[in-house]
């Protein structure tokens, strides 16, 4: 434990599968981590209990040093009402829909609690401690199971009127492709640029590539497809080319609308950067206004899995000061 840290925030990232937590100080240093399976089922109090247990685990380990704990800050994959501290809709954690999560955590832990969308928090984390340090106007795109987005304008997270802004993954990039999205629309960026999409597109295209090593793969994943691409597999290269083109179309639209300083790309799929980034950059060059395209830096995220936790902590610190 670093001495003198008084402004400690317990941050929790509630994923559909894992609940990851960390104790973060006001300088962005992480002093404690925990990871457990997210409780499944219909009882939101099981999720509250899991976060509370993680805090107790931390207190047990740090003893008196844990007294500096000032707040709990939780991020969820879904729409949240930040002001009320309620989850509006979290498709992967449906038991939380409508649940007053911050009130439940405060009543259990006796400290203020904060709530944010995970992709918004990731953008804040990357600007605080990651690739976008020193920037004021950024877009953060998280390419994971789905595609998340966070937009920070002039240093302020842009949440929109209802807290549902920056759904970058649900920008339409192909009205004629007809690929259905979980949001109810069709042709969204998410159905072309997520890990799920990379696997689906590989399956769909595989009959056209009889020599691909991926035919032998029993469990296709975005990682295994990327690995094949690095070995020169033509099917994998074609899929990452397509993914990169769609992403570039989306980014060019965002660049023309928002004129950002930086676009940070994170999430597991960013591991495929060497295969898709050049196609993304080419689309940006072709489609965005030259002045804006020349200005924007498009970079890989630097905080990895910690972006959401760091952003959650930063937002809690900002709220308390």
Can you give the binding site for Zn ion, defined by CB under 5 A? Answer: 170, 181, 183, 185, 188
Is the CB of residue 299 less than 8 Å from the CB of residue 141?
no
User: In terms of CB distance, is 175 or 290 closer to Zn ion?
Assistant: 175
* CA 113/CA 105 separation, integer angstroms: 6
Our CB check for Zn ion shows the closer of 168 and 214 to be 168
Closest distance of CB 191 from Zn ion, Å: 7
Least separation in angstroms between residue 120's CB and Zn ion is 17
**Least Å from the CB of residue 251 to Zn ion:** 17
Tell me the closest approach of the beta carbon of residue 137 to Zn ion, in angstroms: 25
Of 155 and 177, the one with the shorter C-beta distance to Zn ion is 177
Give the helix/strand (H/E) hosting 263: strand 262-266
- Cβ atoms within 10 A of the Cβ of 4, count? 7
19: its two tokens: 């609940």
Are the beta carbons of 32 and 2 closer than 8 angstroms?
no
- At residue 34, the 3 state secondary structure works out as strand
Return the number of the residue (179 or 213) whose C-beta is nearest Zn ion: 179
In the bound complex, what is the minimum distance in angstroms from residue 204's beta carbon to Zn ion? 18
The smaller minimum CB distance to Zn ion, of residues 185 and 196, is found at 185
Q: What does the alpha-carbon distance between residue 108 and residue 103 come to, in Å, rounded to a whole number?
A: 9
76 three-class SS: strand
């Amino acid at each position: 434990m670093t001495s003198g840290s008084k402004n400690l925030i317990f941050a929790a990232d509630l994923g559909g599968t894992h609940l990851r937590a960390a104790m973060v100080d006001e300088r962005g240093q992480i002093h404690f981590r925990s990871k457990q399976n997210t409780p499944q089922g219909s009882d939101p109090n099981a999720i509250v209990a899991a976060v509370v247990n993680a805090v107790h685990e931390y207190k047990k380990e740090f003893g008196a040093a844990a007294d500096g704990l000032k707040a709990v800050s939780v991020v969820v994959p879904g729409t949240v009402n930040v002001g009320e501290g309620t989850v509006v809709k979290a498709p992967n954690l449906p038991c939380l829909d409508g649940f007053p999560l911050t009130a439940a955590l405060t009543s259990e832990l006796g400290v203020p609690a904060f709530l944010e969308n995970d992709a918004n928090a990731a953008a804040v984390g990357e600007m605080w401690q990651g690739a976008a340090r020193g920037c004021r106007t950024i877009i953060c795109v998280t390419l994971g199971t789905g595609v998340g987005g966070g937009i920070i304008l002039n240093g302020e997270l842009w949440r929109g009127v209802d807290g549902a802004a920056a759904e970058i993954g649900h920008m339409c990039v192909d009205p004629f492709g007809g690929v259905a999205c979980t949001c109810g629309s069709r042709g969204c960026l998410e159905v072309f640029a997520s890990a799920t999409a990379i696997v689906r597109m590989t399956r769909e295209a595989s009959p056209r590539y009889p020599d691909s090593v991926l035919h032998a793969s029993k469990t296709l994943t975005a990682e295994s497809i990327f690995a094949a691409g690095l070995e020169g597999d033509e099917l994998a290269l074609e899929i990452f080319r397509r993914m990169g083109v769609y992403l570039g179309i989306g980014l060019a639209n965002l660049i023309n609308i928002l004129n950002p300083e930086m676009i940070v790309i994170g999430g597991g799929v960013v591991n495929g950067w060497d295969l898709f980034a050049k196609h993304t950059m080419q689309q940006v060059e072709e489609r965005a206004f030259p002045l804006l395209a020349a200005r924007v830096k498009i970079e890989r995220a630097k905080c990895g899995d910690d972006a959401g936790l760091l952003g959650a902590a930063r937002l809690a610190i900002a709220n308390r000061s």
